Structure 1
């Protein structure tokens, strides 16, 4: 059985207890019915910020679900970005973007 944490409740409680002054910035994300992994990354960046020396550590510990990866790849197409620009936008490595494209675009070709 695969259970997903209730990120909406976790972050709402965390904001109310530790960061009540940042509730306005997080409100739009918390109003969603389902919070995905990209939303969790955005909430973390809003709440604790990203120190320049911690960027490398944070990227090593991230994991993305299929919907988030597809959203990021669609964002690339919609905004006409190359892999380097997309990686910079979402704080990813270019190799990660290339790997995702190889995996997800090969899946769509095999589905046809």
Structure 2
């Protein structure tokens, strides 16, 4: 089982990849939205902001997200790590319910370029 620190590191790696992206992917990463990532098996939520083409984690909280972020990701820690390191296909994980992504329709359409 992934640790809280491994999950934070995976989010930082994802943020770095977004910042280094080009073209359509970079445009998709340019959103300015509140974000939350609830790691269900650890019962920890990372909250922050997607801005400037990066994800800035501002806090780590116990339990599910206390407020509804504009972009919400829910998954197990091992799945987060596997997604970021290319060991788990997002579409397959999302389709099977292992990963949940919630956002407004416009944001979902833009975010699909990142995934």
TM-score, scaled to structure 1: 0.29
Larger strand percent: 2
- Give the number of the structure with larger relative contact order, counting CA–CA contacts within 8 Å between residues 6 or more apart: 2
Larger helix percent: 1
TM-score, scaled to structure 2: 0.28
